[in-house]
Amino acid sequence: MGKPFKITLIDHEWDDLKIEQECIQKRTKKNAPIEFQVLQSRNKDHIIDAIKDSDALLVMYADIDEEIQKAAKKAKIISRYGIGVNMIDVDSASRLGIMVANVNDYCVDEVSDHALSFILSSARRLFTYHEQTKKGDWDFKKASIPLRASNALVGLVGFGKIPARLAEKLNAIGYQVISYDPFIDKVTMEKASVKKVDLSELLASSDFISVHVPLIEKTRHLISTNEFNLMKETAFLINTARGPIIDEEALIVALKDGQISGCALDVTETEPLPHDHILRRLDQVILTPHAAWYSDKAFVEIREKAILNILDVYDGKEPKYLVNKKVFA
């Protein structure tokens, strides 16, 4: 019997690891044992010390850069809990022959529902009415007058799985939907009853702008001062993707100066959001704690599918959610 196939879980935020351990137990072969090491650290030095003989890395939030990848000389795969892989240097991993995998389909309904909830809550002024009514007021005129759905335009920044699902829900309610995505063609969007536009047109014309692009260097601060200058004063900005896509300093200025009406954020540039952060105090801001992905089913799926990527490699197969496919080929 050879050395065990070693999986190192770098970091996680689960109460226990029963789901991962059960998946491993079901797939382990008698003549090829699996060792499951739990580090629970984002410290670079700790990670490097722990992964030198690891065959696979499982990660949630820790940065896995080229230096760490080079230290993991035996590593065949890095699997990430979630859709985004911005914390992993995928280019470096590809050069080093390390597969990178994610879970790109576990929360499509959850995140699209969350974004839709933000849009509907903002559209119907629910949070304003709630706060005023709880304080003793009873006056529908205290909030700015809502738009009828059929008169409102929603702009989707990105048109991947989640925004495409959101578009279905918005169309069913009666919203007009447009989208900016340089990688999706006009015909595909038209089939989904969505009009393809450029980013400047989307920003200038939308009543609600919902962000759904991955975080890469080209999308970092995609929405900043120039973009806020294009938006309507009545516009609401929604972000359920990644915090750094929006330049928060520019956002705060835009909110204070009345350049936009408000925003709803499930993600922020720094997470957790600091207790004294101004976004917590601004009345025009709705906040949730990076919870858009969360549901009973998604909670299980993200964990099973992330570990199953690794167990596919253990079995000599291509991981289902492989990002850098050329490495396996």
pLDDT in tens, 158-217: 999 999 999 999 999 999 999 999 999 999 999 999 999 999 999 999 999 999 999 999
Confidence of residue 17 (pLDDT cuts 50, 70, 90): very high
Sheet with 285-287, side-by-side order of all strands: 195-196, 176-180, 153-157, 208-211, 236-239, 262-265, 285-287
- Do 97 and 113 reside in the same domain of the chain? no
Looking at residues 30-35, what average pLDDT do you find?
93
Confidence of residue 263 (pLDDT cuts 50, 70, 90): very high
Confidence of residue 232 (pLDDT cuts 50, 70, 90): very high
Clarify whether 217 is annotated catalytic: no
- Do 125 and 240 reside in the same domain of the chain? yes
Q: What is the pLDDT of residue 3?
A: 87
Q: What is the pLDDT of residue 174?
A: 97
Query: Are residues 326 and 320 in contact, defined by beta-carbon separation less than 8 angstroms?
Result: no
Q: What is the three-class DSSP state of 178?
A: strand
Q: How many domains does the chain have?
A: 2
CATH number at residue 42: 3.40.50.720
Q: What is the pLDDT of residue 328?
A: 83
Confidence of residue 30 (pLDDT cuts 50, 70, 90): confident
Looking at residues 38-53, what average pLDDT do you find?
97
Q: What is the pLDDT of residue 329?
A: 73
- Do 120 and 99 reside in the same domain of the chain? no
Clarify whether 280 is annotated catalytic: no
- Do 190 and 152 reside in the same domain of the chain? yes
Q: What is the pLDDT of residue 214?
A: 94
Query: Are residues 298 and 110 in contact, defined by beta-carbon separation less than 8 angstroms?
Result: yes
- Do 140 and 241 reside in the same domain of the chain? yes
Catalytic residue among 12, 114, 212, 242: 242
Confidence of residue 244 (pLDDT cuts 50, 70, 90): very high
Calculate the average pLDDT of the chain: 97
Catalytic residue among 22, 66, 67, 271: 271
Q: What is the pLDDT of residue 1?
A: 58
- Do 241 and 180 reside in the same domain of the chain? yes
- Do 88 and 53 reside in the same domain of the chain? yes
Quick check: 282 pLDDT over 80?
Answer: yes
Q: What is the pLDDT of residue 222?
A: 98
Catalytic residue among 27, 35, 290, 304: 290
- Do 119 and 130 reside in the same domain of the chain? yes
Clarify whether 290 is annotated catalytic: yes
Four-point Cα dihedral 183, 81, 62, 294, nearest 10: 90
3 state SS for 14-78: CCCCHHHHHHHHHHCECCECEEEEECCCCCHHHHHHHCCCCCEEEECCCCECHHHHHHCCCCCEE
Quick check: 103 pLDDT over 80?
Answer: yes
Q: What is the pLDDT of residue 196?
A: 98
- Do 98 and 113 reside in the same domain of the chain? no
Query: Are residues 240 and 267 in contact, defined by beta-carbon separation less than 8 angstroms?
Result: yes
- Do 41 and 170 reside in the same domain of the chain? no
- Do 178 and 311 reside in the same domain of the chain? no
pLDDT in tens, 56-97: 999 999 999 999 999 999 999 999 999 999 999 999 999 999
- Do 64 and 210 reside in the same domain of the chain? no
Q: What is the pLDDT of residue 110?
A: 98
Write down the pTM of the prediction. Answer: 0.92
| Cβ count within 10 A of residue 229 | 12
Q: What is the pLDDT of residue 262?
A: 97
Q: Residue 116 is part of which domain span?
A: 108-287
Q: What is the pLDDT of residue 74?
A: 97
Q: What is the three-class DSSP state of 160?
A: coil
